[in-house]
Amino acid sequence: MPARRDREGPSTRERGRAAEDLAATWLEARGFDVLARNHATRRGEVDLVCREGETLCFVEVRSRAPAGHGTAAESVTRRKARRVVAAATDWAMRHGGLDRPMRFDVVAITTGPAGPEIVLHRGAFDATGRPGF
């Protein structure tokens, strides 16, 4: 499927990749180890698989411009959260992580003229996809 272009700017896919790159760098600077990126299954995808201490963190990255349509973190629906959980479970099964503590986080990036604002929402949703914040 071709990447969608909005006017003359980067495609949606290109903006998403840039947001994931920024989030990975930002998390690493705060002591997270990035173990995998874009782990996909038929049932879903997780943007970043990280480790913070002994905890596996499955991170959904969301980016938005401040346009009044809600925050980047609020754009994670329960359906999307369940798809992240499905991909995270698959990753943990394949890599022996089911016996470790796990957490589902959201990195919300708001772009603006002063540069990006990045917020980490630890435990943003639980294993059923219910919001935790």
Question: Domain spans of the chain?
Answer: 35-125
Average pLDDT on 85-94 reads 97
Listed range (1-10, 52-61, 70-79, 94-103) with the worst mean pLDDT? 1-10
User: Phi-psi bin for 58: left (phi > 0), alpha (psi -120 to 50), beta?
Assistant: beta
Rg (CA), the chain: 15
- Listed in sequence order, the residues at least 6 apart from 59 whose beta carbon sits closer than 8 Å to its beta carbon are 23, 27, 46, 47, 48, 49, 50, 105, 106, 107
Query: What is the CATH T-level fold of the domain 35-125, as seen in this structure?
Result: Trna Endonuclease; Chain: A, domain 1 (3.40.1350)
Q: How far apart are the first and last CA of the chain?
A: 34
Q: Which DSSP symbol is given to 5?
A: B
Dump pLDDT digits (tens) for 33-66: 999 999 999 999 999 999 999 999 999 999 887 7
pLDDT band at 5 (very low <50, low <70, confident <90, very high): very low
Element (H, E) at 118: strand 117-125
